[in-house]
Structure 1
Amino acid sequence: MVTTIDPEAERKEILRYYRKLLRYAKPFLKDNDAKIIKKAFNTSVEAHKDMRRKSGEPYIYHPLAVAQIAVEEIGLGTTSIVAALLHDVVEDTDMEIADVEREFGPSVARIIEGLTKISGVFDYGSSQQAENFRKMLLTLSDDVRVILIKLADRLHNMRTLDSMPRHKQLKIASETMYLYAPLAHRLGLYAIKSELEDLYLKYTDTDTYKDISNKIRQTRSARNKFIKDFISPIEEELRKYGFKFNIKGRPKSIYSILKKIKKQNITFDEIYDLFAIRITLDVPLENEKAACWQVYSIITDFYQPNPDRLRDWVNTPKANGYESLHTTVMSKSGQWVEVQIRTKRMDEIAERGYAAHWKYKTDSSQGGESGLEVWINKVRDMLENNTANALEFMDEFRKNLFVEEVFVFTPKGELIILPDKATALDFAFEIHSQIGLQCLGAKVNQKLVPLSYKLKNGDQVEILTSQKQKPNEEWLQYVVTSKARSRIKESLREERKNRAEQGKAMLDRRLEQLHVQDTQANMNKLMAFFNVPSLQDLHYRIATGHIDIKNIKEVIFTATAEKGSSMLDLKSFDKEVQKIRGVNSDMLVIGETTSNIEYKVATCCNPIPGDDVFGFQTEDDGIEIHRTNCQRGIELMSNYGNRIIKAKWTDQKELAFLAGIRIKGTDRVGLVNDLTKIISTSLRVNMRSITIDSHDGIFEGNIMVFVNDTSHLEKLIQRMGKVNGVLTVERFD
């Protein structure tokens, strides 16, 4: 089908987008700003004039949309609008960074340089992408706007992902989930984080996404009525006290609802806080805390609060600057409702994150650093001290910076903030590297604890050290902070190097006794014989006694080493795969009898025929098959895009796959018998195991069965659901 393009209509549409952008930017434009934006717009239109997006629309729609998100949803200013409009120009045309600097000044040029380094290159192999992510973070320490515009760019790409081919959709969605959603969260952009997560779900698990969004839609009118009844007494009371306020109810995001269903193992109807009520107060800065707590006391006069669900981020804000008071209360109809209380300033920081944070930073002369700046300094610190390769770095980065925190104290009462699950050993390294390296143990609240003790909020920690103490490999399992991890690795490397030098001296002596020369060829024979990857490893193993020096004999050097031949086979493996699959056929068909590719089904998600799947080429186990919505799969697609293989199931039926079914219901005599009868007689399904636990008249059971495919499993689930007394039946991973 050829669509005819109407240039006039497109021109009007482009201008309409442009005017909308100016309308949003107008409140903060200074003397010359409108002119600069216009110039950037014209430059971009000219640069992209012959380009179209995958969807067929003019390319300029994209930079305009990114600029619009930057202003409207993140709250950035003129420099960012200009940079967003020009963000693809250097990469796609022959315009250079120097030209941008000449025309638009150094800040715009620096932002675009940061963006150019990191765009488009996510297609190659693993570490290439990690390397680029690292570059992007380096620019974070210069100018955080680079990352904010990159997030706007990613959000628009996710919103328009429909026009992309399926494998690209999966890759882009996974990468978004792996890096960009947590990054948006860390920079305090909650609305963007939620939307990115929902869009990820929409493309990787479309059925679940549709199912939950339909349910949210169906319950909308009942929910609105409920919210109205819930807030009317509160509104009346707040007016009586003379508060200026705004109350609104908002449903939780689809992704967070799904997460709850999985984590708590409940159904959609059982989620008690499907929505939250937000009360936003308009009060001066100095009255904020008092006002929030006063409103809390008004709410709890009407509704009973759940004491375990009070979250006070007004007194101790989250590290990304988030401030708010959350409580969960029991409504008159017996439903729990989450209520968030905050001021207008806090709300803007919560919605706009970093951008708003700067605004308030400059408006008020608050002393000290905010949590967010401390975080950005930590990123800098990580970047400067990180000797690991890019992939390790990315892993570290995610582990460290996207987690909740634990607040602990030094013996003198100083507050130290560490990531959740941090241990006494992490605390020692946080105080000082040297204290960490010599750490023997710790006293927490005056009691002796081991290094691996996990810290809890409010712990007071004193570290015990000894000159003789040295880190060992096991320590790496005790720490979660990157500072501790990199210092321990450094120390172990140093130690290893010293031992390797001792080993080398021992080997030299042995070779002298055997009258064998220390040549590269001879070393290769030795490494092949003992099957070690490097010379340093060989030396180290000799020093530690893993390789007995007496076992190094003349025969190793005289025999033609057959062991070495297996080393070459890895390279030809790739070619083999190409031969088998054909250069272009790229699709792995799972379960064909003709297939002579080794593959195995991943145990993390146990895919069965009918599931959407992809193949991943592992280093040594052939190909691993994962479901496209598998958590581990996200990581693989993000980091090793080049090793992903498109895959589908064959139509053959005789294969059997393991699947898990979880059942809940009311207990009665003969129930297990009825269930097993259905499994074994009706559908020729073999059962591997069944565990059923019952107490107080309620039973819960897990059954592992072998089925052919998803429709086979569905039928089984439906039939089990009809058994008298069974309440829910569902598949689990």
Structure 2
Amino acid sequence: MMRQYELVERVQKYKPEANEALLNKAYVYAMQKHGQQKRASGDPYISHPLEVAAILTDMHLDESTIAVALLHDTIEDTTATRAEIDELFGEDIGRLVEGLTKLKRLDLVSKKAKQAENLRKLLLAISDDVRVLLVKLADRLHNMRTLDHMKAEQKARISEETMDIYAPLAGRMGMQDMRDELEDLSFRYINPEAYATVTQRLADLSARNEGLIKKIEDELRDLLVANGLPDAAVKGRQKKPYSIFRKMQSKSLSFEQLSDLYGFRIVVDDVACCYKALGIVHTRWRVVPGRFKDYISNPKQNDYRSIHSTIVGPSRQRIELQIRTEMMQEIAEYGIAAHALYKDGQSGGAKGDDLLPKESSAYSWLRHTIESLAEGDNPEEFLEHTKLELFQDQVFCFTPKGKLIALPRGATPIDFAYAVHTNIGDTTVGAKINGRIMPLVTRLNNGDEVEIIRSGVQVPPAAWEEIVVTGKARSAIRRATRMAIRKQYAGLGYRILERTFDRAAKTFTREALKPALHRLAHKDVEDAIAAVGRGELSSLDVLRAVFPDFKDERVTVKPSADDGWFNMRSASGMMFKLPNQPKAPLEDAQAVNAGDVVALSPEPVPIRGLAGNMQVRFAPSGAVPGDRIVGIMDKGEAITIYPIQAPILQHFDEEPERWIDVRWDLDEANKSRFLARIDVNTINEPGTLATVAKTIGGLDINIRSLSMASNRAADFSEIAMEVEVWDVRQLNQLLTQLKELDCVSNLKRVYD
């Protein structure tokens, strides 16, 4: 266990002017408060905060953060209070310790549904001060290092959570070394068999190639020194087990097929020397095609900067090279810790820190993620969004004005548009990639210039959600889809309410509805109107809420005995008289009979088919233009359209509020076929089906489905088919020609 003086010495080694008194006071206070407490391993509990503090000293963090690490469990696990810590160490340290206490209480190791909400709380808590995040990650790292003493089930659960959340979060914060260690520790418990296999293979490889890394280091260093880079530092390493396992899985390779198991880092004085070193190495050894990345000119979002290249190097060994400056090396090792600016004016101490921005890009990403919490996503969507952002590698694209946009690999122009601005994404209709118009499903590559083509009337299709890969785009598409559906429902609901109020001799306005919202259990007018459109709220209930004194005096009228006239009811429930056998409103339509329900509203709802994203659907038997049609409101599912002859309509006789007057509204420029069902009784003889099918095809009618069965007499067959026609005139023409066939006994159109 680390001694008090050892901790102080570690801090003073990189910060000689550190506040020694603060460190001593925090050490003694934590030691006293934790007292005789033990960890699951049997070690004194104080060993945990001491090790967390030690991890943070490796990152060269200031004494205030080290003090917070020593105190981070005191409020949660001892008699310490926030007030006491404020008094002894100041409000700043007290606030950080309390923030970490809240994080511990979240207990992210939980069911997925809870994990989503807890992740939101975690990111909210760490968004106020970067030091909370740094201490939390160090705390998780030490817990993973000492996981052996937990139960097997706990090991697996904690490791999965670390792999899902903390390791990628460390990577996003630029702390790659910490990410690598967290992943390897998690891998050990999540998949112990694979871990043991890969580890053993690496050990065998090291034994066979003993001294190889040192040999390559020396050869690279000698080459650089001989070409004018005497201060270049070269360090080689064998790749980590989880990194190798992930590559084997992603590329479906066996261990023997892996060729770049070694990585070498070249650290030079400045950016110019980086490119000089690259030229020296590439001149001496052959480059592996497609394995070059320049993260100096295009830094990653976590501020990582380096040149990556893979070469067939010394001893004909395939190796990965990383070339960077000392400052880049500090950022690569410590990530966001190298940017941390503290209230005492000190920084992480990396060489060249004065060149760093006030806030790192990594922390800016975190703040941007936090902003998405206000967008209204549910916790599960937020968890999905955040995991997508955490795990994805990147491509770098440009706007026509040269602005750099970083996106996950596999991103499309739609993702690009939403990355620029949500409104641009919502109005996207096309894209030019490098000056050429390309499909919106095109995957973007590094260096692409993307120009978005927009339209003010565009609404993002729901299908885009399956195309995009960024969480921001996916969330925005869901919101836009919900808003578009709500707008359509609201338009339908408004027309329904207007007719209902008209029948009651009242006038419907949005202003009149506002005072009645509390009676309808809705927060705003548009919500209530949309609920009517969805069938979740009865228009009569709205009428009664606005006019509490209204009484529905509608009476049921039986068919008249008058031979010349009979009573009818419109689809909206209105009663009226019609002359016996009135003329059909459309040519070739059937005559109206007593008891029929007809759609004669003066302002029927126009129906063209599936109205955008709103569920306006046809009955299973279909309906074709020219049919008299009626709409039935299905609760929560909008409208089902039936031909007026459908027998099922009698089931809705006692629910007149569900009847919607509708009319055909065909787009002549984009005509569509509509479904109808017919049953044909034919003579059971060879060639009958061919004759029927030829007749149908000759009329430019499509057969969607067909089934055939023999009836009891065995001399006849029943053919049930679904056909697609342009309108009722074409359907009647088909019925007429089929009746004239010698092989057809009888036929009929089928209604639900």
- Assess same fold via TM > 0.5: yes
Alignment map for 1:156-171 (pairs within 5 Å):
156-171=142-157
Shift of 1:221: 4.5
Deviations 1:260-297, CA, capped at 9 Å, x for gaps: 2223333323321111122222x2xxxx2221121122
CA contact 1:136–1:146 (8 Å) conserved in 2: no
Match of 1:129 in 2: 115
Shift of 1:204: 2.1
Q: CA RMSD in A?
A: 3.2
1:149 aligns with 2:149: no
Separation in structure 2 between the aligned mates of residue 113 and residue 487 of structure 1, nearest angstrom: 34
1:432 aligns with 2:421: yes
Aligned counterpart in structure 2 of residue 292 of structure 1, from 254, 274, 280: 274
Query: Which of 360-369 and 124-133 deviates more?
Result: 360-369
Separation in structure 2 between the aligned mates of residue 393 and residue 357 of structure 1, nearest angstrom: 27
1:449 aligns with 2:438: yes
Deviations 1:395-418, CA, capped at 9 Å, x for gaps: 101102432222222223332222
1:79 aligns with 2:64: yes
1:480 aligns with 2:469: yes
Shift of 1:368: 8.6
Alignment map for 1:590-669 (pairs within 5 Å):
none
Deviations 1:173-224, CA, capped at 9 Å, x for gaps: 0000000110111111111111111111211222322222223223325434
Match of 2:12 in 1: 26
Shift of 1:158: 0.7
Separation in structure 2 between the aligned mates of residue 245 and residue 445 of structure 1, nearest angstrom: 39
Separation in structure 1 between the aligned mates of residue 479 and residue 299 of structure 2, nearest angstrom: 34
Separation in structure 1 between the aligned mates of residue 20 and residue 319 of structure 2, nearest angstrom: 46
Aligned counterpart in structure 1 of residue 81 of structure 2, from 96, 118, 125: 96
CA contact 1:188–1:352 (8 Å) conserved in 2: yes
AA aligned to 1:553 is: F
AA aligned to 1:88 is: D
1:215 aligns with 2:201: yes
Match of 1:363 in 2: 353
Separation in structure 1 between the aligned mates of residue 176 and residue 461 of structure 2, nearest angstrom: 40
Match of 1:259 in 2: 246
Separation in structure 1 between the aligned mates of residue 75 and residue 649 of structure 2, nearest angstrom: 63
Alignment map for 1:241-280 (pairs within 5 Å):
241-280=228-267
Deviations 1:59-99, CA, capped at 9 Å, x for gaps: 11111111111112x33221111111111111122322232
- Which consecutive residues of structure 2, in runs of 5 or more, have no partner in the other structure? 341-347, 494-529, 542-551, 557-632, 657-752
Match of 2:96 in 1: 111
Separation in structure 1 between the aligned mates of residue 281 and residue 654 of structure 2, nearest angstrom: 85
- Label 1:161 to 1:545 Cα distance change in 2 as closer, same or farther (>3 A): farther
CA contact 1:499–1:543 (8 Å) conserved in 2: no
AA aligned to 2:457 is: K
CA contact 1:504–1:539 (8 Å) conserved in 2: no
Separation in structure 1 between the aligned mates of residue 427 and residue 55 of structure 2, nearest angstrom: 50
Shift of 1:30: 6.2
Alignment map for 1:640-719 (pairs within 5 Å):
none
Fraction of identical pairs, as percent: 36
Higher RCO (Cα < 8 Å, 6 or more apart) = 1
- Label 1:463 to 1:261 Cα distance change in 2 as closer, same or farther (>3 A): closer
Shift of 1:17: 4.0
Match of 2:652 in 1: 553
1:420 aligns with 2:402: no
Shift of 1:234: 3.0
CA contact 2:4–2:24 (8 Å) conserved in 1: no
Match of 1:320 in 2: 302
1:329 aligns with 2:314: no
AA aligned to 1:102 is: E
1:541 aligns with 2:637: yes
Match of 2:397 in 1: 408
CA contact 1:234–1:298 (8 Å) conserved in 2: no
Shift of 1:499: 4.2
Match of 2:25 in 1: 39
- Label 1:236 to 1:455 Cα distance change in 2 as closer, same or farther (>3 A): closer
- Label 1:410 to 1:56 Cα distance change in 2 as closer, same or farther (>3 A): same
Query: Which of 476-485 and 160-169 deviates more?
Result: 476-485
Separation in structure 1 between the aligned mates of residue 401 and residue 650 of structure 2, nearest angstrom: 57
Separation in structure 2 between the aligned mates of residue 471 and residue 544 of structure 1, nearest angstrom: 25
Structure of greater Rg = 2
Query: Which of 131-140 and 545-554 deviates more?
Result: 545-554
AA aligned to 1:40 is: A
- Which consecutive residues of structure 1, in runs of 5 or more, have no partner in the other structure? 1-12, 517-536, 558-733
Match of 1:460 in 2: 449
Alignment map for 1:47-62 (pairs within 5 Å):
47-62=33-48
Deviations 1:11-32, CA, capped at 9 Å, x for gaps: xx4xx44443222112345667
Deviations 1:486-523, CA, capped at 9 Å, x for gaps: 3322222223334444275465358979999xxxxxxx
Deviations 1:551-581, CA, capped at 9 Å, x for gaps: 8737899xxxxxxxxxxxxxxxxxxxxxxxx
Separation in structure 2 between the aligned mates of residue 551 and residue 133 of structure 1, nearest angstrom: 53
- Label 1:175 to 1:321 Cα distance change in 2 as closer, same or farther (>3 A): same
SS at match of 1:467: coil
Separation in structure 1 between the aligned mates of residue 114 and residue 413 of structure 2, nearest angstrom: 35
AA aligned to 1:186 is: R
CA contact 1:114–1:136 (8 Å) conserved in 2: no
- Label 1:304 to 1:438 Cα distance change in 2 as closer, same or farther (>3 A): closer
AA aligned to 2:426 is: L
- Label 1:438 to 1:46 Cα distance change in 2 as closer, same or farther (>3 A): same
Aligned counterpart in structure 2 of residue 383 of structure 1, from 368, 373, 381: 373
SS at match of 2:41: coil
Separation in structure 1 between the aligned mates of residue 118 and residue 172 of structure 2, nearest angstrom: 19
SS at match of 1:320: coil
Deviations 1:105-139, CA, capped at 9 Å, x for gaps: 23222222221122142355434333232222123
Aligned residues: 517
Shift of 1:256: 0.9
SS at match of 1:244: coil
AA aligned to 1:263 is: S
Deviations 1:353-387, CA, capped at 9 Å, x for gaps: 111234459832456975334423422332333x1
Separation in structure 2 between the aligned mates of residue 540 and residue 173 of structure 1, nearest angstrom: 42
Query: Which of 251-260 and 419-428 deviates more?
Result: 419-428
Deviations 1:607-643, CA, capped at 9 Å, x for gaps: xxxxxxxxxxxxxxxxxxxxxxxxxxxxxxxxxxxxx
- Label 1:29 to 1:105 Cα distance change in 2 as closer, same or farther (>3 A): farther
CA contact 1:170–1:203 (8 Å) conserved in 2: yes
SS at match of 2:430: strand
CA contact 2:412–2:440 (8 Å) conserved in 1: yes
AA aligned to 1:162 is: D
AA aligned to 1:337 is: I
1:303 aligns with 2:285: yes
AA aligned to 2:60 is: G
Separation in structure 1 between the aligned mates of residue 208 and residue 69 of structure 2, nearest angstrom: 42
CA contact 1:382–1:482 (8 Å) conserved in 2: no
- Label 1:470 to 1:326 Cα distance change in 2 as closer, same or farther (>3 A): closer
Separation in structure 2 between the aligned mates of residue 515 and residue 200 of structure 1, nearest angstrom: 73
- Label 1:435 to 1:191 Cα distance change in 2 as closer, same or farther (>3 A): closer
